[in-house]
Amino acid sequence: MKFKEILQKWVINNIGYKVLALVFAFVLWLVIVNLTDPTVSLTISNIDVEILNEDAVADGSHVYTIESGKVISVTVSGKRSIVSSLKASDFLARADFSELSMTNAAPITVSMTGDKSRYYSQLNVKPRTTSMVISIENIESKRVDVEINITGYAPDNMIMDVLKVSPDKLFVKAPVSILNSIDRAVATVSYAEIEESSDIRVVPVLVNAAGEEVTITDDVTVDYNDVVVQAYISYIKDVTVEAAYTGLPAEGYQFDGLELSFTDTTVKGDSGSIRYLTRIAVPVESIDITDATEDMVFTFDLNEYLPEGVTIYSANSTLTVTAHISEIPETSTEEESGSESESETENGEQQTETTEEGN
């Protein structure tokens, strides 16, 4: 049989039925395929967006904050056998800051990673968020004072001689929104930490004008991590003041006593120096009233009579001592002479009376 006859008998005869059968077979195949592995859509969430060319914004003089688009979701369409096995880690989302728009929006591109990347061409992947939106602000700097804050209670006899901090200013570099809220730095120490001479290392806290701690981000830098609080203290104590004299006034004059401008004062020193100190005595030879005919006034700086390391703390540091001298009244001598004469007269009269009675 010739080829032409074979072609006509098996191909051309009933061509319409044969085409229809072919189409039916194809449709049947599609139905079977879709029934066994249909096309489905799935939303996959919590896909972290990687930032590319970050230095296009974060160049040292600017800082950014992500307003939206840090984490996105994607809708994936494809064969169920593929789609059902996908998870967030199979996708790679990126925002390129070098393509930042005038509204500070960077386009987000999504691809697949790992073993599942071979299915990317068989899937329809649509990000539900198409751009990452950021806000940008300048980074500026300023110097702020360091303030010392002492907590707790000091003993009644303790005083602070020296209290200072080094350095006393900090150089702070931060985004403008944070920098404007910083008023000062506070270094806090407790009285319990302070000894007679203390250098205490403290990590200062940045606070606002109301004294509230300012939240610090990674974009904030301070030139010193800690400061040194130098505290030098002394102790105070009340002591009595005493004075004595030597010598005698001139003949015909008498000593009427010493008058001190004050009889107690307060001293300051380290605990060891003032522990046994109870009085300050002016040396007796310093007040000499020999041959004095009138009041004598002496002035003393009490600091000269204190042990090393101890000073006068109160206002009573200069002592004035007045030695009161007065003339012995002459009336006292005349009265004594008169009394003796009267006694002699009385004695003479008594002797006369006795003689007369004897006769």
Q: Which two tokens stand for residue 257?
A: 């006593």
pLDDT in tens, 261-284: 999 999 999 888 888 899 999 999
DSSP codes, 262-279? -SEEEEEE-HHHHTT--E
**How much is the pLDDT for 3?**
55
**How much is the pLDDT for 26?**
74
Residue 98 phi, psi dihedral angles, 5° rounding = -70, -15
**How much is the pLDDT for 355?**
33
216: which DSSP letter?
Answer: P
Residue 328 phi, psi dihedral angles, 5° rounding = -70, 125
Give the SS3 label for residue 330.
coil
Of 230, 220, 166, the closest CA to residue 195 belongs to 230
Q: Cα–Cα distance between 266 and 52 in angstroms, integer?
A: 72
Question: Where does 157-315 have alpha helices with state H?
Answer: 176-179, 271-274
User: Has residue 167 got a pLDDT over 90?
Assistant: yes
**How much is the pLDDT for 30?**
67
Q: Which two tokens stand for residue 205?
A: 């806290």
Q: What percent of the chain has pLDDT over 90?
A: 58
pLDDT in tens, 168-209: 999 999 999 999 999 999 999 988 888 767 789 999 999 999
pLDDT in tens, 12-71: 666 666 677 777 777 776 666 566 678 889 999 999 999 999 999 988 889 999 999 999
Q: Which two tokens stand for residue 17?
A: 């039925």
Q: Cα–Cα distance between 144 and 165 in angstroms, integer?
A: 13
Q: Cα–Cα distance between 323 and 47 in angstroms, integer?
A: 98
DSSP codes, 61-97? SEEEEEEE-SEEEEEEEEEHHHHTT--GGGEEEEEEG
pLDDT in tens, 235-249: 999 999 999 999 999
Q: Which two tokens stand for residue 149?
A: 């804050």
